[in-house]
Amino acid sequence: MTTLAPDDAKSTSKPAPRRREIPQNRSGSALKQSENRAAYLFLTPWLLGIVGITGLPMLASLYLSFTDYRVTAAPNWVGLENYATLFGGDRRFISSIWVTLKYVGWSVPLVLIFSLAIAVALNRGLKGLAIYRSLFYVPSLIGASVGIGLLWKEVFGARGVVNEILGWFGMAGRGWVNSPTFALPTIVALNVWTFGASMVIFLAALRQIPESYYEAASIDGANAWQRFRRITLPLITPVIFFNTVLLLINSFQSFTQAFVVSGGSGGPVDSTLLYSLYLYQKAFQQLQMGYASAMAWVLLLAIGIGTAFVFWTSKYWVFYGDR
């Protein structure tokens, strides 16, 4: 193999098209500076937000997590005492972790399965798709609200609509939200009901899959399940991954529904004591802001580890078609 010297290359190749040189003079530099200024100007609101509303309070919270701050008096430095108490002697902290893991463990897969199933059903060229899509999306807009939490509490209460309907079939109802066995599943059901956001993302992904793949598979004799299993599922794994991460982070931070349904207690018998709810109790009911700050940092770490784990597993199950 011979290589051409630069001069040879020059002589054998077509003359290179004349490039317009970017002026590097003073006026060009001024333009660049001006553009930078404009960029920073547009970024300013975001920068102010990330620094002032997120960054500084986070730093303050980190500091407070090493203090005994109780709002009504100045904070005193206590080192790692809050963290030691959390893992060493707080029974309810451990309880809240278990409740949260159960909640996340049920919520995330159920929302994924439910939203994917509805998205697949809606992706079959139904008439009025936009209307159905909007209708299914509405719960995810209002599901985390206090109003819906209160409604859920009434619907699943001892004298709620659910028991009324069960009564028509001669079945005895119960206070679903006031039972240690059923309170958490009721909240999980409320969360699953807010599947709309994930569904819309799945629907967008499904519509990106070329129809020709399905036609070819059909010609080869693949049935509906095989087409879903071998074409749809692999091609939407990046979106499943994306939704999983989002749902995981949101579920770990769930608060409103458990707060409203249990009246802020996390009961009955701590069965709905989600981590964020316990954190809230410590901060705003017992005024232990330092302790609550430590809890917040443990939560941040747990979410980080959970998300990192999902990212690590993604190399085994997420299929990017271009790789």
Residues 297-316 close enough to bind another protein by CB under 8 A? none
Residue at token pair 């919270």: 61
Nearer to another protein, 94 or 224 (CB): 94
Helix (H, G, I), strand (E, B) or coil at 67: strand
Are 300 and 62 in contact by the 8 Å Cβ rule? The answer is no
Interface characters, 32-71, with another protein (x: CB under 8 A): ------------------------------------x-xx
Does 82 engage in binding with another protein (CB under 8 A)? no
Phi, psi of 67, rounded to the nearest 5 degrees: -125, 175
Could you say which of 151, 287, 299, 303 contacts another protein (CB under 8 A)?
287
**Which of 228, 207, 208, 206 has the alpha carbon at shortest distance from 217?**
228
Enumerate the H helices of the chain as residue ranges. 6-12, 26-48, 56-64, 81-89, 91-122, 129-142, 146-155, 161-168, 183-193, 196-207, 211-219, 224-227, 233-235, 237-252, 256-261, 275-280, 289-317
Dihedral sign from CA coordinates of 265, 268, 269, 271: negative
**Which of 237, 285, 233, 239 has the alpha carbon at shortest distance from 259?**
285
Does 158 engage in binding with another protein (CB under 8 A)? yes
**Which of 257, 259, 213 has the alpha carbon at shortest distance from 232?**
213
Nearer to another protein, 22 or 73 (CB): 73
Does 94 engage in binding with another protein (CB under 8 A)? no
Could you say which of 264, 300, 302, 306 contacts another protein (CB under 8 A)?
264
Does 270 engage in binding with another protein (CB under 8 A)? yes
Region binding another protein by CB under 8 A among candidate stretches 16-24, 188-196, 197-205, 263-271: 263-271
Does 72 engage in binding with another protein (CB under 8 A)? yes
Phi, psi of 146, rounded to the nearest 5 degrees: -65, -40
Does 146 engage in binding with another protein (CB under 8 A)? no
Interface characters, 169-198, with another protein (x: CB under 8 A): -----xx--xxx------------------
Q: How far is the CB of 144 from another protein (least distance, A)?
A: 19
Phi, psi of 24, rounded to the nearest 5 degrees: -105, 20
Could you say which of 61, 237, 253, 265 contacts another protein (CB under 8 A)?
265
Region binding another protein by CB under 8 A among candidate stretches 36-44, 72-80, 241-249, 306-314: 72-80
Could you say which of 129, 285, 305, 313 contacts another protein (CB under 8 A)?
285
Q: How far is the CB of 118 from another protein (least distance, A)?
A: 32
Q: How far is the CB of 47 from another protein (least distance, A)?
A: 24
Are 195 and 114 in contact by the 8 Å Cβ rule? The answer is yes
Could you say which of 40, 77, 284, 309 contacts another protein (CB under 8 A)?
284
For another protein (CB under 8 A), the number of binding residues is: 27
Could you say which of 139, 234, 238, 268 contacts another protein (CB under 8 A)?
268
C-alpha to C-alpha distance for 66 and 290, rounded to whole angstroms = 7
Structure tokens at 132: 């159905």
Q: How far is the CB of 45 from another protein (least distance, A)?
A: 23
Give how far the C-alpha of residue 239 lies from the chain's centroid of Cα atoms, to the nearest Å.
13
Are 82 and 66 in contact by the 8 Å Cβ rule? The answer is yes
Instruction: List residues binding another protein (CB under 8 A).
Output: 68, 70-73, 76, 157-158, 174-175, 178-180, 263-265, 267-270, 281, 284-288, 291
